[in-house]
Structure 1
Amino acid sequence: MEFSEHIKTANVEDVVLRQPLHPPSRGTLCITGHHLLFSDRVEAEEGRSGQVLLLLRNIDAIEKRTSVSSGTISIKCKDLRVLQLDIPGMEQCLNIAHSIETLSCLDCVSEMYPFFYRPSELNLQDQWGLSSPEKHYSQMAELHNRWRLSSVNRDYSVCSTYPQSVIVPKDISDDMLVKVAKFRQGGRFPVLCYYHRKNGMVIMRSSQPLTGANKKRCREDESLLQAVIDGSDKGYVIDTRSSQQAQQARMTGGGFESKSFYNNWKRLHRHMERGKALQESLIKLVEACGDESNSMDRWLSKLENSKWLSHVQTALSTAGLLAECVERDGHSVLVHGSDGTDGTLLISTLAQLIMDPCCRTLEGFLALLEREWVQAGHPFQQRCAHSAYSHARLQQESPVFLLLLDCVWQLWRQFPLALGFSEALLLRLANEAYASDYGTFLCNSDQERCAVEVKEKTHCLFQALLRPKHRDYYSNPLYERTELAIWPSVHPQSLQLWKGFFLRWTQQTRLLEEAQEEIRNMIIKWGKLELS
């Protein structure tokens, strides 16, 4: 496809841009295959930047109004910015609006901007990513007695959403894994995602078993889970559905692990909302944050009705339960919901952050996200197709990754010394998941990325964030490593709205950011003086 086919008007003079935290400015608007570029003539003449570059993929929705001689386009972005363009000429306005609507919703992955982005400081031959199942296994010598690296999924035929290599119990053969995969939804058989060095317990994750109404069983699945707790008294299954939802799933072919066949495993149900409910919660919260006419009572009512902080609370408390089972009680845990690609990844990631100091460094956290989200098959392209403003509601959309980042921010705020990264990193990741110059969050699985050669033809976000010029900015200057677990408080009064994200385009939040940056610079300066 030629992008020029969708650009009837490439540039317009005398456009007025209105954007948050800036006075209105007049200049030239240009549209390309992937960007809107606005250039302010006056600021450019005075030697200031005067440019706004907006990735079209970042646009969630547009609204247009026209008259005989002009038009206005309101642009609502996935990062929650709202921009307004006043364009002279009705035809020019309609042409620009049409181009934005078309080019911001390209479905073909290989036509997206990461395949065209070529910064001078990065090379396509650079190493892609920070971690892999092979590297993770090789770094954990303690695993090698009872666990092995299996390449049963090397051609993605056993599970389309798993990576090519996975870590499984040593006693379970690849033939057995193939049978277990047929018994688990989407082929997502139980695999190891975390080994707790303190006591040797593990976290496994999978999808639901396909027991169905007839209570089918799979002896290979039972053997796999028994091999996980060999020599231990019992293990726990944390199901991210309510007991009633799990029962209902049996009527459509799904189900749960029966006590009769998994008698050494105790099942715990912790209902976590997913899919459409989470998406609607985000929409209600963003709507409340954007309504400046709210009274205090109305604002608090809208905040509560959105239920967003309730989802944060549920995720953190479920992750805390998982961490307690492993850290305090000394038991291995299997986590799953139905598909095992959303809430399962959310709580396994948070539990690892709670327990493991290695996951709390800047590099460790990015490697954790790569293992638990990118490689483990979270469908980023489906979940992050639209944010809170879009009028086109797709069934697959859900802000699960954003919910994770909000939960991590709560941890960061409650334990300001324990995490080695800054809030700025969480904000950057939230932006990148929805619209990015990099290929890290493209597609829905490792298999899909392989098919379009993402690793060969795009740059890796995580590698870029660790380059020296970014590393300092995204590091926490107050960080002090602790080997202790960090147990978050989930009392309502302990959880706060993530203002840095949801209210980031307000003057009050911007002033707070400036103050925090000044404090950060002072801390860094003092640290350098002490070292000298």
Structure 2
Amino acid sequence: MFSLGSGGGKSAKPSFVSYVTPEEIEPEPEGSLQEKSPEFLPGEVVFCSAKRILRCTQDDESECSVFGTLFLTNFRVSFVSDAVHSEDTVQLFKNKLYGENDIPLACVDQIYGDYDEKKKLITSSQVKNKYPSKIIIHCKDLRVFHFSLLCVKEEVRKKIFQGIIHHILDPKSLKCIFAFSYGEKAAPVPEVQRKQKTLMFETAEDWAAEMRRTKGSCKLVEDNKDFQIAQRLPQFFFTPTSVENEDLQKYQGRGVPIWCWSHHSGCALFKTAALPIAQEESTSKVQKAYVESMLNAVAQNHLYSVKTVDLSDALPNIQDIQQSYNKFKQNFLIDSIAEFWMSDVKWFSTLETSRWLSIIRQCLHKAVEVVESLERENTNILLIEEGGSDLCCVISSLVQLMLDPYYRTLVGFQSLVQKEWVAGGHNFLERSNLLHQRDKELQSPVFLLFLECVWQLLQQHSPAFQFSETYLTVLSDSINVAVFSTFLFSTPHQRATIMKAELDTGTLNIPPVWQWSLQFDCKAQGFFINPLYKAKSKQEKALRKAQRPKYTRQLSLPSTPSRRGFFKEETDNLKKMLRVKRISRWMQLPDSVQACVREFYSVWQRKPLDYHGLLLPCLDWPAVRLWTQRYLRWIPEVQILGGGDVAMLNKVAALVREVQELRTEVDRQVSQADPSLESPLVFARSSVRLSSSFPFAAARVWSFRPAIPISIGDSQMDLGQLASRDDEDTDYQ
């Protein structure tokens, strides 16, 4: 094994040595395989299995390694232990689709083999006659599994190893993804009747309802119902009223302002894909004229000013994001406890050099700039990106979260993801590399980057969000389950075409991820609700509506020299895009822009905080934190027994429960509350002592041991001189 990242030092060698040959192992009776099989899902097929597989723990000195049977199916790699489950394990948060010893095939990030105590990365082309003694699987949800094959017969070892490599690492077609097998066999889930439903934005009615809610005034385009305009655009969308139908067809929808959201002052947020590169000067002139006409349409015939924001220049591209995350995640993929303590010495430096937190801060800063233009300058915003479905989705979604409290509710947030990401054409299939293509240029965790930014907002303004960080963590895990239609396709055209073709040939039920009952029971879904959130009362809504200031529309043109023209400045900003001249993606923002954002934040900060109004993130470096629940939940050495944020939520949930019980006692005539609002009390109802990684790490009977192993301590200091040293670093005041 090798050390983590650039942590330095030599990692400890595995201490497990088998002195028993596979032939000496007593064979198990026939029929025991059926007894130890996992509970298979509809459409799940077993490819191969192997008994006497030893699952090793990260602690080389522990005796917790267990024998079991390893199954390979078209959905997962599943380990079923031979040991009887201990009664000291309590699972309050259990996923119905896969367990803690299951690895969905789409969730596998990398596979390593242990060859003569040397850890080597496995690719499908490297499979030869020699097979490793141990398989190490790194998962996209940052779990690490060690499976020893030493006690397995040679032919069985070959079969299980080749099967795992083939079905996980080899490229596959879309129809081979488990969602299609599952969708053909699974029964439709009955829809739970709720007061509010997640808008899927698959119909014109959903789009019209959202336009009415925001009180916007744009034109509904239905000409793309059969994807005659562009395959990457949704079947229905809104554009400025003055955009003509022939404008939609010119560049296959590129350059057309697509409506995202309307501000109560009348201005709006739009996004578009950049125009194709002009090879000739005549073509460039035509494109510039087209861009100016689209800007005129966004400005609504000069009633508003318009500002373009080219995200391709302002933020890192998808390759930069992928490279940064690859470095970042190595801090949490721990193969052994010894490796963890060795890497701890340089943990902060490796975290900083990855620049992942820096990219999160850049995205939040850019979103605040856009919010400032909409909220204070009353300006229409047009977001521009090369494809229009990556960073445009990130920034537009963050802007709406900061400005619109509806999107901070559970149903509102899910509707936002459907509108901006699913209907907006984000390429989930290639960004997640679900097909395991060898060319990984298109792979990038853009949606995870968005969830990271949302988590930062949630941590800084917890009472403003109805959903919890557990909800965000589960949503990030669901990307790599390969069961849900939400994260399965590249474009709206691919989604509609394949789903329609499958429905024509038979019954197909590929559910969206929002059908949470497929993964969790009602009690477990209670962890999705933030106990700190308090919905706004009807009296508060009426008071806020009455006190809302009325903005004055800008009926005159900006005071710019007449020789430049109204849109000359904005079209000049697009010249570098047409000439393919890009400035540095990591450049610092102009001082004037930074000053405006700082002033805008300072003015907002001096006002009384309204959790149902405008929210802005603090962008100072100490405020941009690590998402500890997602990244540290599988590392036992960093878990805090009875502490962390979970301990605080547990106390708050207990208080909320008492308040609800008192309220019920006082007013017995009130109908029973919505279960989704009572569900946060699962924290308080549990008598199990929780760890900081709750609810993901099962609550167990904890054994107390030194925080730093003696072997590691010996390597870091001279214990012989410890007693004679002066207590120079100790303060007894």
What's the TM-score, normalizing by structure 1? 0.83
Contact 1:124 1:457 in 2 (8 A): no
Where do 5+ consecutive residues of structure 1 fail to align? Answer: 243-270
Q: State which drifts further: 428-437 or 403-412.
A: 428-437
Q: Are 1:83 and 2:145 counterparts? A: yes
- Give the aligned partner of residue 18 of structure 1: 56
Report SS of the residue matched to 2:633: coil
> Which amino acid in 1 is paired with 2:458?
W
Q: C-alpha deviations, 1:504-528, integer Å up to 9, x for none?
A: 2112247447636634642552343
Residue of structure 2 aligned with 1:72, choices 134, 138, 149: 134
Q: Distance in 1 between matches of 2:100 and 2:393?
A: 39
Q: Residues 531 and 145 from structure 1, CA distance in 2 versus in 1: closer, same or farther, beyond 3 angstroms?
A: closer
Q: State which drifts further: 424-433 or 45-54.
A: 45-54
> Which amino acid in 1 is paired with 2:273?
S
Q: Are 1:104 and 2:152 counterparts? A: no
How many pairs align?
Answer: 493
Q: State which drifts further: 419-428 or 31-40.
A: 31-40
Instruction: Give the alignment of 1:141-156 within 5 angstroms.
Output: 141=212, 146-156=217-227
Q: Distance in 2 between matches of 1:11 and 1:104?
A: 15
Q: Distance in 1 between matches of 2:265 and 2:624?
A: 31
Q: Are 1:322 and 2:370 counterparts? A: yes
Residue of structure 1 aligned with 2:410, choices 344, 354, 362: 362
Report SS of the residue matched to 1:140: helix
Q: Residues 188 and 473 from structure 1, CA distance in 2 versus in 1: closer, same or farther, beyond 3 angstroms?
A: farther
Report SS of the residue matched to 1:397: coil
Q: Residues 409 and 239 from structure 1, CA distance in 2 versus in 1: closer, same or farther, beyond 3 angstroms?
A: same
Residue of structure 1 aligned with 2:79, choices 35, 38, 57: 38
Q: Residues 78 and 69 from structure 1, CA distance in 2 versus in 1: closer, same or farther, beyond 3 angstroms?
A: closer
Contact 1:206 1:334 in 2 (8 A): yes
Q: Are 1:531 and 2:663 counterparts? A: yes
- Give the aligned partner of residue 188 of structure 2: 123
Q: Distance in 1 between matches of 2:330 and 2:308?
A: 37
Q: Are 1:349 and 2:392 counterparts? A: no
> Which amino acid in 1 is paired with 2:303?
S
Residue of structure 1 aligned with 2:286, choices 213, 217, 222: 217
Where do 5+ consecutive residues of structure 2 fail to align? Answer: 1-42, 92-98, 117-129, 334-338, 536-610, 665-733
- Give the aligned partner of residue 430 of structure 2: 382
- Give the aligned partner of residue 444 of structure 2: 398
Report SS of the residue matched to 2:294: helix
- Give the aligned partner of residue 247 of structure 1: none
Q: Distance in 2 between matches of 1:146 and 1:69?
A: 64
Q: Distance in 2 between matches of 1:520 and 1:116?
A: 43
- Give the aligned partner of residue 273 of structure 1: 316
1:39 offset after TM fit, Å? 1.5
> Which amino acid in 1 is paired with 2:620?
H
Report SS of the residue matched to 1:311: helix
Q: Are 1:464 and 2:516 counterparts? A: yes
Q: CA RMSD in A?
A: 3.4
- Give the aligned partner of residue 246 of structure 1: none
Q: Distance in 1 between matches of 2:474 and 2:443?
A: 20
1:111 offset after TM fit, Å? 2.4
Q: Percent identity?
A: 25
Q: Are 1:335 and 2:387 counterparts? A: no
Residue of structure 1 aligned with 2:480, choices 434, 452, 456: 434
> Which amino acid in 1 is paired with 2:157?
C
1:204 offset after TM fit, Å? 0.4
Q: C-alpha deviations, 1:331-370, integer Å up to 9, x for none?
A: 1100012111111111111011010001100110011011
Report SS of the residue matched to 2:462: coil
Contact 1:288 1:302 in 2 (8 A): yes
Instruction: Give the alignment of 1:409-428 within 5 angstroms.
Output: 409-428=455-474
Q: Residues 295 and 92 from structure 1, CA distance in 2 versus in 1: closer, same or farther, beyond 3 angstroms?
A: closer
> Which amino acid in 1 is paired with 2:113?
K
Q: Distance in 1 between matches of 2:277 and 2:68?
A: 63
Q: Distance in 1 between matches of 2:296 and 2:323?
A: 40
Q: Residues 120 and 409 from structure 1, CA distance in 2 versus in 1: closer, same or farther, beyond 3 angstroms?
A: farther
Contact 1:385 1:434 in 2 (8 A): no
Residue of structure 1 aligned with 2:246, choices 175, 183, 186: 175
Q: C-alpha deviations, 1:174-213, integer Å up to 9, x for none?
A: 222212x34x6xx3622101111x2121110011133636
Q: Residues 130 and 361 from structure 1, CA distance in 2 versus in 1: closer, same or farther, beyond 3 angstroms?
A: same
Q: Distance in 2 between matches of 1:206 and 1:238?
A: 10
- Give the aligned partner of residue 504 of structure 1: 633
Contact 1:20 1:506 in 2 (8 A): no
1:488 offset after TM fit, Å? 0.4
Contact 2:428 2:490 in 1 (8 A): yes
Q: Distance in 2 between matches of 1:85 and 1:474?
A: 33
1:69 offset after TM fit, Å? 10
Q: Distance in 2 between matches of 1:69 and 1:163?
A: 48
What's the TM-score, normalizing by structure 2? 0.62
> Which amino acid in 2 is paired with 1:501?
R
Q: Which has the larger radius of gyration?
A: 2
Q: Are 1:195 and 2:262 counterparts? A: yes
Instruction: Give the alignment of 1:225-264 within 5 angstroms.
Output: 225-230=295-300, 231-242=302-313
